[in-house]
Amino acid sequence: MEKKEVKLNVRGMSCNACEIRIEEVLSKEEGIYNVKAKRNKNMVILSYNPQKIDLERIKSLINELGYKVEGVLTNESGNLNFSFIPIFITSGVILVFFILQNKLGIHFLPVITKEMGYGILFVVGLLTSFHCVGMCGGINLTQSLHKDKNNFIPSLKYNIGRLIAYTLIGGIFGGIGTLFSLSSFSKGFIFIIAGIFMITMGLNLFGIFSLGNFLSKFFSQVYAKVNKKGKLIDPFFVGILNGLMPCGPLQGMQIYALSSGSFFTGALSMFFFALGTLPLMLGLGVLVNFLSKKVGYHMMKVSGLIVIFLGISMLSNGLALTGNPLFKEKDKNYSVAKLNGDLQTVITEIEPNRYPPIVVEKGKPVKWIIKVSEENLNSCNNAIVIPALGIEKRLIPGENIIEFTPTNEGNIYYSCWMGMISSTIKVVNNINQSDIVVEENIGGGGSCCASGNIGRYSGGKLPLDSIGIAKIKDGFQEVVINVDENGYSPSVIVLQKNIQAKIIFNPKKLTSCNYVVIFPEYRGRLDLSVGQWETPLLNVSEDFTFTCWMGMLNGYAKVVEDLRKVDIQKIQKELENYRSPRAGGCCGG
């Protein structure tokens, strides 16, 4: 029997499903042997008997499937289906992901939680079904390719089998969850593996390289070989077996089912998740015989981009759960611990999509008070995980307390229980003398020169639009000054002579300029960035000044005989020509 081997240059193959489709159709033709389609090389290799089928008939069979045979290849390598364009686009995808997730707080992998309704789980399945097209699309197609284009029963049976398999697996994991639960590190490890797998699959769909389709193609080819021998496997049972394949989103759902601790809840949750994947998967099976190759090609590219997004998100979440976030948070609004003897206390408030970074001192016990309002608590931020300290804390409305003792300088990363929200615990050697903390974490607010209203202080002037008058109580006097990027408000305060005074600074927004307040006449200073917001009781006998450390923001304390007889207009007129001798700093004098 005469055999010829030929290599055909075939355009239009967009995924492993295309390879399987060509191999399936050609293998059924008498006189064609050993068909191998390679989409990454735009090549189909086969052997045929020219006495039973001619080359033109083979080309016609491929063209009828919607692909285009452009000729016979004479070299071994074929024409690589490779372009740098997908690499640039994928790099752009990663950049967009970073901007959206870290700057705008948008997450692409839905958070699956116990508080979710089953309708939301359906939506999660609908979104992640783009991954199913790439992972299981080839298997789906082998069940859908029939001479009768109107016959969608095999695809329906295949997807019903998959639905039943997912439901049973959910029940099994829910039952196992009654015996034990996964640690945050274990969850993170599973998410990392799943994320890498999904990114690889997305790159495969996008055509950068041909990896990640091994399992899908393996099962499809096994089915094809068995079917070729006449031992037809019903699509329903193929769908059942498909439920055993590893899958990133599926692993996330399995973790949820495990955490449910209930066979019924786990099964029902997986059922609604699988139901959400049906529209796209069932539609793929029904439309495969009608879609043009151009439409199919673009659909796979879109699916690839979505899968890459989901994979990066899952990888990022997994790394956060292991204490090694992929994208370090750049939040500059640190909450700094206050020292009280050997104990340091830090108070933070939880926001719906943000955990605040904190600064603590090495070697001293920390009492971290986390305040949570009921309206800010949601199914994502309701549990804090600190992998490096082995801490997992469920949050409730009101005050929540976490206690630990940091032993080493550096950053400790923490996140929510799904790795979606992350932040930093910065450990410093001496919290009262750490200019590094200030420069690194407060400097992002900009210098005093950056403010549009800073001209009020130019040349050492004092803004006189508001004057604060101290209040006397319990034998001393007290006045509050707000501090933000625009300076001090009020910049002028009035105190009564011979009564001790306490000045309280309210830091609304600190910058690299205003975080330190200098009192030249008292030879003292306050570092607002580390919680030094109040002066000790000052002996008041004459006027004095206060200023930022750069000399740009100036304040003045006017001392009078009796606060009950203060003449505001007289003070304003007296100080309208005042110029601070220390004026200057970054903006000049």
Q: In a 3-state reduction of DSSP, which class is residue 587?
A: helix
Q: For residue 369, what pLDDT is reported?
A: 92
Mean pLDDT of 54-77: 82
Q: Two tokens at 415?
A: 């996140």
Q: Are strands 501-507 and 343-349 parallel, antiparallel or unpaired?
A: unpaired
- Distance separating alpha carbons of residues 259 and 178, to the nearest angstrom: 8
Domain boundary among 441, 465, 483: 441
Q: Two tokens at 449?
A: 């020169």
Within 13 Å, how many C-alpha atoms sit on residue 281's CB side? 34
- Distance separating alpha carbons of residues 425 and 412, to the nearest angstrom: 5
- Distance separating alpha carbons of residues 548 and 556, to the nearest angstrom: 12
309 shares a domain with 188: yes
42 within 8 A of 81, measured Cβ to Cβ: yes
Lowest mean pLDDT among 74-78, 159-163, 360-364, 406-410: 74-78
Let me know if residue 570 belongs to a domain: yes
User: How long is the chain?
Assistant: 589
Mean pLDDT of 156-178: 83
Exposure string of 182-203, with b = 16+ CB inside 10 Å and e = fewer, is eebeebbebbbbbbbbbbbbbb
CA dist 118 → 2, 267, 309 (Å): 61, 11, 24
134 shares a domain with 223: yes
Let me know if residue 142 belongs to a domain: yes
276 shares a domain with 189: yes
For the stretch 507-529, pLDDT in tens is: 888 887 788 899 988 888 898 88
202 within 8 A of 194, measured Cβ to Cβ: no
Let me know if residue 155 belongs to a domain: yes
Let me know if residue 59 belongs to a domain: yes
For the stretch 419-436, pLDDT in tens is: 778 888 989 888 765 543
Query: Residue 53: which domain range?
Result: 4-72
Mean pLDDT of 310-321: 72
- Distance separating alpha carbons of residues 434 and 412, to the nearest angstrom: 18
10 within 8 A of 50, measured Cβ to Cβ: no
Q: Say if residue 566's pLDDT is above 60.
A: yes
- Enumerate residues 6+ apart whose C-beta is below 8 A from 534: 502, 503, 504, 505, 526
Q: What is the secondary structure of 270-293 as a DSSP string?
A: HHHHHHHHHHHHHHHHHHTTTS-H
Q: Say if residue 115's pLDDT is above 60.
A: no
- 204 — alpha (psi -120 to 50), left (phi > 0) or beta? alpha
Q: For residue 477, what pLDDT is reported?
A: 95
265 shares a domain with 187: yes
Cα dihedral: 126, 132, 134, 140 (round 10) = -120
Residue 519, H or E segment: strand 516-519
Q: For residue 301, what pLDDT is reported?
A: 65
Q: How many structural domains comprise the chain?
A: 4
161-165, 202-206, 279-283: which is most confident: 161-165
- Enumerate residues 6+ apart whose C-beta is below 8 A from 68: 10, 11, 12, 293
10 within 8 A of 35, measured Cβ to Cβ: no
312 shares a domain with 260: yes
166 shares a domain with 296: yes
Q: Rg for the chain (alpha carbons), in Å?
A: 34
Let me know if residue 96 belongs to a domain: no
The type of residue at 240 is I
What's the mean per-residue pLDDT of the chain? 74
Q: For residue 459, what pLDDT is reported?
A: 57
CATH number at residue 24: 3.30.70.100
435 shares a domain with 458: no
131 shares a domain with 249: yes
30 shares a domain with 152: no
Query: For residue 515, how many other CB atoms are within 10 A of its CB?
Result: 23
415 within 8 A of 320, measured Cβ to Cβ: yes
415 shares a domain with 475: no
29 shares a domain with 148: no
Q: For residue 241, what pLDDT is reported?
A: 73
Let me know if residue 83 belongs to a domain: no
223 within 8 A of 139, measured Cβ to Cβ: yes
Let me know if residue 174 belongs to a domain: yes
CA dist 296 → 12, 202, 281, 289, 292 (Å): 9, 15, 14, 11, 6
